[in-house]
Amino acid sequence: MTKLKYILLLLSILGIGYLHADIPLVLAPNGIQKTLPVVKLEEKDYVSLDEINARLCSIYKVEYSEYTDFRVMFFFYGEQFIFLLNSPFYTFKQSVFNMQYPLLQVGANYYVPTTFIMDNLPLHFPGQIQNKKGTLYLPQPKDKSVKRIVIDPGHGGKDPGAVGPNGTRESMINLNVALRLKHLLEQELGLEVLMTRTDDRFVSLGDRTKFANDNKADLFISIHTNASRTNGAQGIETYYLSTKSTTESRAVEALENSVVELYEGAGAKQKYEALDFILMDMLQTEHLEHSNDLATLVQHNLVAGVQAKNRGVKQANFYVLRGAFMPAILIEMGFISNPEEEALLANPQYQDRLAQAIFESIKRFKYNYDRIRLTS
């Protein structure tokens, strides 16, 4: 090999090496240095989510949506990113962002463009993640585990809720069970529990949700008892929010909103509408999935705990659950309109058993949830 050829070969290797420059990482505050391998896909620099998982212990999972696209959930620093396969758009904290190049799939692996790592991540975690001249500085992640729960005893004050044939007021039963549940969560799990009311007073539905949001609650539990005109109605059911009925209006709203700014040029509108539809659904899905998980656990434990009729987990557009920025459920602990269930619901021992069953459900939910949220 001539000297010239050798130099050319060396240059080409260096050139390739430069083009495929891996991303240096510094994990603060202990200063551990790692690198994130970069690969070329469609002539752009990409990083595989597997590599991020291996180096930064994030978690991602892929879900098949009811539409034609795949969505890829990516949990990083306790926050969720939702990517859409072959799309440069993703959602983060209820907003839509652009990472310039699409999420790609090669075999079983998913790849994000390096622009996401170097440009977008520092924007999403200001003051935490920094890109200093091509080196990414990552601090210790914040603890995102379930720590603060808002319990919402339904009704109160001028609103007694449903009233049983023997005069039992729903508002009082809800409060009694809620106070028992609060005690268990504080004593057994050391959680911070806030109540939308601690005595017999009126609180509007909007204020209840706002209270949970303002206090940055990790869970919202609304406690109620049921009523029906038919005396024989009985059993327990647990609800979480439904979006099915309003998906269309939500998509229309979003058309008027910020997502429009992400698009340019004529002819993109149709595509935009479809994409927006999916993204808005995805925004809701983040909490709906957890709400469903929690509702399922609560329903199962309550029915088993008090041997009541199982009316199942249901979805409805409850105003008190709408707008809650956390997993949120509404429990109907039995029918106060049914004399037998009214007597049970008014019984302090039965209230203990209800509270215990809800407590066990939240404990299990927290265990499952924290494993994802605590990853660094």
**Which residues are near Zn ion by CB under 5 A?**
154, 161, 224
Closest distance between Zn ion and the C-beta of residue 330, in Å?
Answer: 8
Closest distance between Zn ion and the C-beta of residue 362, in Å?
Answer: 20
* CB nearer to Zn ion: pick between 112 and 344: 344
* CB nearer to Zn ion: pick between 94 and 228: 228
Q: Name the token pair of 56.
A: 């930064």
Q: Return the exposure string of 280-290: e unless at least 16 CB atoms fall within 10 Å of the residue's CB, then b.
A: bbbbbbbbbeb
Closest distance between Zn ion and the C-beta of residue 203, in Å?
Answer: 13
* CB nearer to Zn ion: pick between 77 and 211: 211
Closest distance between Zn ion and the C-beta of residue 224, in Å?
Answer: 3
Closest distance between Zn ion and the C-beta of residue 217, in Å?
Answer: 20
Position of tokens 């692996």?
Answer: 109
* CB nearer to Zn ion: pick between 293 and 341: 341
d(CA 236, CA 102): 46
Closest distance between Zn ion and the C-beta of residue 309, in Å?
Answer: 18
* CB nearer to Zn ion: pick between 47 and 354: 354
Distances (CA, A) of 5 to 1, 14, 15, 16: 6, 14, 15, 16
* CB nearer to Zn ion: pick between 141 and 161: 161
Q: Where are the strands (E) in 199-335, listed by range? A: 219-226, 236-241, 310-316, 328-335
Distances (CA, A) of 254 to 104, 244, 260, 270: 26, 16, 8, 14
* CB nearer to Zn ion: pick between 139 and 160: 160
Closest distance between Zn ion and the C-beta of residue 161, in Å?
Answer: 4
* CB nearer to Zn ion: pick between 25 and 295: 295
- Helix/strand/coil (H/E/C) assignment for every residue in 280-313: HHHHHHHHHHHHHHHHHHHHHHHHHHHCCCEEEE
Residue 345's DSSP bridge partners are none
Q: Name the token pair of 181.
A: 């549940």
Closest distance between Zn ion and the C-beta of residue 173, in Å?
Answer: 10
Closest distance between Zn ion and the C-beta of residue 335, in Å?
Answer: 11
Closest distance between Zn ion and the C-beta of residue 200, in Å?
Answer: 14
Q: Name the token pair of 176.
A: 């009694």
Residues 366 and 145: beta-carbon distance below 8 Å: yes
Alpha-carbon dihedral of residues 9, 14, 15, 21, nearest 10 degrees? 150
* CB nearer to Zn ion: pick between 181 and 259: 181
- Burial of residue 271 (CB within 10 Å: 0-12, 13-18, 19+) is exposed
Q: Where are the strands (E) in 58-179, listed by range? A: 59-64, 70-76, 79-84, 89-92, 95-98, 104-106, 109-113, 130-132, 135-138, 148-153
- Maximum C-alpha span of the chain: 103
Residue nearest to Zn ion (CB): 224
Contacts of 293 (CB under 8 A, 6+ apart): 327, 365, 368, 369
* CB nearer to Zn ion: pick between 169 and 224: 224
